Structure 1
Amino acid sequence: MGKQKINKIAPVLMSYIVMGFVDIVGVSTGYAQRDFDLSPEVAQLIPSMVFIWFFLLSIPVGIFQNNFGKRKILLAGIFTTAIGMFIPFVHYTYPTLLLCFLLLGIGNTIIQVSSNPLLQDVVNRNKFSSFMSLSQFIKAISSLVGPLIVTFMVASYGDWKLVFLVYGFISIFSGSWLILTGIDETQSEFKASFKTSLSLLKNPFVASMVVAIFLIVGLDVGMNTSIQNLLVQKFEVGLERASLGISVYFFALMTSRFLGALILAKVDNLKFLYWTTISTIFCIVLLIVAPNSLVALVLIFLIGLSSGNLFPLVFSLTIGKLPNRANEISGLMIMAVVGGAVIPPLMGLVNRMAGVSISFIVLLLCAVYVYFTYHLFKKFKN
């Protein structure tokens, strides 16, 4: 790979670090619940405030990037994120925290819709699935470091909110680097509109994969926001120590996506999807009946290891079927990231009614559906 190619790929990959900032919602939910004495349902409004924008804005962003360019739209998302990150550092109340995550959700929606098609423009097509896993590996590193930064800030300065200041400056750096990078973007053969985007949902294959992304993200965010609850409520682990359970999960995601970046270009992606979904289902079942916190942490790691490549696999396999509709499919599939706003509150409701362990059955059902996408891919395979 030439130096010029790397110079174009690197700033695009940097945007995935900013994309990973969204996962601070997990540890933030726990601290906000403590700081403002919130009920589980009210606390879960925080991830909902983030992920609802994926439903509302993904299709419009897909259309805008088709008309104005992916790079410009990606920059808008990065700088929106930067603005949001400084808000709770300046003034910390529950409403301002919600505003912070509102802007984080808007910015992250824009980044997720535009970054993947822009990445496709700067890498070889036959290596796209591998680079998708690499990008998710980078995002996982960002997600992993977040709770560690929080732990460091609490231990050193007594203020977990300083993580937002760090994130704000990194976002500004990422956007500035991308501004200085020229990228030749491919142009879609189709005139994108709401009608053409939504018409893709008439394709059973596309519709099924949009649902799969909805549930994959719901599973991921549900794990992220419920690990603390599981360790605190079931095993009586302290909140700070329980926050490290989130880091265990994201370390597993990081490991999984690093391995995916290495091997997905060399193995049958469909078979890889099959075995990783089977493993995810098995580990969630065991987590539900875990007898102690140590076993739970091991299973949390294994769930992250198994499920880490589900998103890039489903995304890249679907884009590979209809590459000339990449902008519109990207918008639809990132719209489905709203699953991150739906699944955690559902888990919170089940938690209140039946207990924290039973709430993980919601994630089990998500994984079971994703398993069946293997058969759908085989049926609709070109």
Structure 2
Amino acid sequence: MHKKVDRRLLAPVLMGFFIMGFCDMVAPVTSKISEEFSEAQQQAVNFLPSMVFLWFLLLSTPIAALMNRIGRKATAMIGYAFTVVGLLVPYVAGVGSGLEWYFIGFGLLGIGNTAIQVAINPLLATIVPEERMTSYLTVGQIFRNTALLLLAPVMTALSVWLGDWRLLLPIYAGVTILGGVWLQLTSVQEPERAEHTVGLAECFRLLGNRTVLICTLGVACFIAADVGVGFVSGRLIDNPNSIFTITGYYACRIVGTLLGAWILTRVVDVKYLQWNMLLALAMCLGLFFVKADAAVYALAGVLGFTMACVFATFYAVATKSALDRTNEVAGLMILAISAGALSGPICGALIRAVGYSQAGLIWPTLCVCYLLWAATVLKRKSDRKKI
């Protein structure tokens, strides 16, 4: 008998995916923030995305352990609270304030987003059928990518009409408050809570499961590549509106998630992942050589399309390989997101060392190479199960 989807709960949970996207804005807006500071501070500015993703490394498994005790909904509410404060801190500090206020605010944003991602992903997995988990997690990514798609148009509109792109921060804080209230007012039937907390060692013991290990590293490389593309894309075009490269990237991600949600009901998820990673590698290599603005927009868009279903596939494959440890799997998957902290410093260092922006693409290209290898390994494993 197939499990039915609780559509009453689905909407507020998908709203949580939209709010997840707020931490992903840090890499694209770094180029805007850098305009406020001197040349001597530019290297420090490059570490702003790291301030967000650092907390995924430090807190994901402890939060997963806490979630076993207090439940997924309560954990998400804690995340919403930190996210609101984190968004408001740099805005309240005001234009011309010290760089430290951005670090504090984005640090709190990272803490909040860690809690949200640890809670919302398994919450969605709870209310959908196991055989359609990848498809529904892909739908969740549509909402997350929409938050990124709107980033450049909203920032541009705020700059032109009101003279300050930073108004984006209180707007996102207000959306987060609405999402938290909506989820709080929704009655959630959660799995029975554990009587004991799960330690860090128990979470890491799951890495003895080869599938979980491959998927965890896959999520790490996906996030590192995604943040790297966000960091570099706005620098590939010498144009005041170059941030719109990320709009095209995420617009095509949404197209990819919509199409992927349909395709994944008909095609094995790891097989579809392999196809996409082959195309992603070709797009990464192409961006090294194209110069025309239109070509950069086009290749970045296709790259966004190929990255649409990566997280959902790895998360679902790992969860299905350890169905009795879903909270711990969630902790590991979200811990892997901390790899995004590496992208800003590494891409910035590559650009400074070589002297041109395309050099920053070396890092995301290497990450895509791993994703292609992981997809190939998981596909072979899936094929053997069918025999």
TM-score in terms of structure 2 length: 0.93
Partner of 1:30: 31
Residue 97 of structure 1 aligns with an amino acid whose one-letter code is Y
Paired with 1:6 and 1:263, the residues of 2 have a C-alpha distance of: 21
Once the 2 structures are TM-superposed, how far is the Cα of residue 3 of structure 1 from its aligned partner?
Answer: 11
Partner of 2:160: 155
Partner of 1:346: 346
What is the Cα-based RMSD across aligned positions, in Å?
1.9
Aligned pair partner of 2:44 in 32, 39, 42: 42
Partner of 1:9: 10
Once the 2 structures are TM-superposed, how far is the Cα of residue 212 of structure 1 from its aligned partner?
Answer: 1.3
Partner of 1:97: 102
Partner of 1:272: 272
Q: Deviations over 1:190-249 (max 9, x none)?
A: 952222111112333322221111110000011111111222xxxx222xx011111111
Once the 2 structures are TM-superposed, how far is the Cα of residue 380 of structure 1 from its aligned partner?
Answer: 4.6
Paired with 1:267 and 1:188, the residues of 2 have a C-alpha distance of: 35
Aligned pair partner of 2:208 in 202, 212, 235: 202
- Are residue 56 (structure 1) and residue 58 (structure 2) matched? yes
Once the 2 structures are TM-superposed, how far is the Cα of residue 350 of structure 1 from its aligned partner?
Answer: 0.7
Paired with 1:42 and 1:91, the residues of 2 have a C-alpha distance of: 18
Q: What are the within-5 Å matches in structure 2 for residues 288-299 of structure 1?
A: 288-299=288-299
- Are residue 228 (structure 1) and residue 234 (structure 2) matched? yes
Q: Deviations over 1:45-77 (max 9, x none)?
A: 110000000000000011111111011001110
Q: Structure 1's 31 and 115: CA in aligned 2 closer, same or farther, altered over 3 A? A: same
Partner of 1:73: 75
Paired with 2:164 and 2:239, the residues of 1 have a C-alpha distance of: 21
Question: Contact (CA 8 Å) 1:24, 1:147: kept in 2 or not?
Answer: no
Once the 2 structures are TM-superposed, how far is the Cα of residue 80 of structure 1 from its aligned partner?
Answer: 1.1
Question: Contact (CA 8 Å) 1:218, 1:339: kept in 2 or not?
Answer: yes
| Gap runs ≥5 in structure 2 | none
Moved over 3 A (4+): 1-4, 187-191, 378-382
Q: Structure 1's 378 and 2: CA in aligned 2 closer, same or farther, altered over 3 A? A: closer
Partner of 1:124: 129
Paired with 2:194 and 2:162, the residues of 1 have a C-alpha distance of: 54
Paired with 1:346 and 1:27, the residues of 2 have a C-alpha distance of: 15
Question: Contact (CA 8 Å) 1:23, 1:143: kept in 2 or not?
Answer: yes
SS of residue in 2 equivalent to 1:36: coil
TM-score in terms of structure 1 length: 0.94
Q: Name the % identity.
A: 28
Q: Structure 1's 2 and 380: CA in aligned 2 closer, same or farther, altered over 3 A? A: closer
Q: Deviations over 1:142-194 (max 9, x none)?
A: 11112211111001011010000100111100000111111111237895222
SS of residue in 2 equivalent to 1:229: coil
**More displaced stretch, 31-40 vs 20-29:** 31-40
Paired with 2:273 and 2:117, the residues of 1 have a C-alpha distance of: 22
Question: Contact (CA 8 Å) 2:21, 2:148: kept in 1 or not?
Answer: yes
Q: Structure 1's 203 and 123: CA in aligned 2 closer, same or farther, altered over 3 A? A: closer
Once the 2 structures are TM-superposed, how far is the Cα of residue 378 of structure 1 from its aligned partner?
Answer: 3.8
- Are residue 110 (structure 1) and residue 111 (structure 2) matched? no
Q: Structure 1's 34 and 173: CA in aligned 2 closer, same or farther, altered over 3 A? A: same
Paired with 1:137 and 1:187, the residues of 2 have a C-alpha distance of: 29
Matched length: 376
Paired with 1:152 and 1:179, the residues of 2 have a C-alpha distance of: 32
SS of residue in 1 equivalent to 2:164: coil
SS of residue in 2 equivalent to 1:242: coil
SS of residue in 2 equivalent to 1:360: helix
SS of residue in 2 equivalent to 1:182: coil
Residue 184 of structure 1 aligns with an amino acid whose one-letter code is Q
Paired with 2:266 and 2:5, the residues of 1 have a C-alpha distance of: 25
Paired with 2:203 and 2:363, the residues of 1 have a C-alpha distance of: 30
Question: Contact (CA 8 Å) 2:76, 2:120: kept in 1 or not?
Answer: yes
Residue 149 of structure 1 aligns with an amino acid whose one-letter code is V
Paired with 2:138 and 2:377, the residues of 1 have a C-alpha distance of: 22
Once the 2 structures are TM-superposed, how far is the Cα of residue 44 of structure 1 from its aligned partner?
Answer: 1.5
Question: Contact (CA 8 Å) 1:134, 1:261: kept in 2 or not?
Answer: yes
Partner of 1:323: 323
Question: Contact (CA 8 Å) 1:137, 1:254: kept in 2 or not?
Answer: yes
SS of residue in 1 equivalent to 2:278: helix
Paired with 2:77 and 2:28, the residues of 1 have a C-alpha distance of: 26
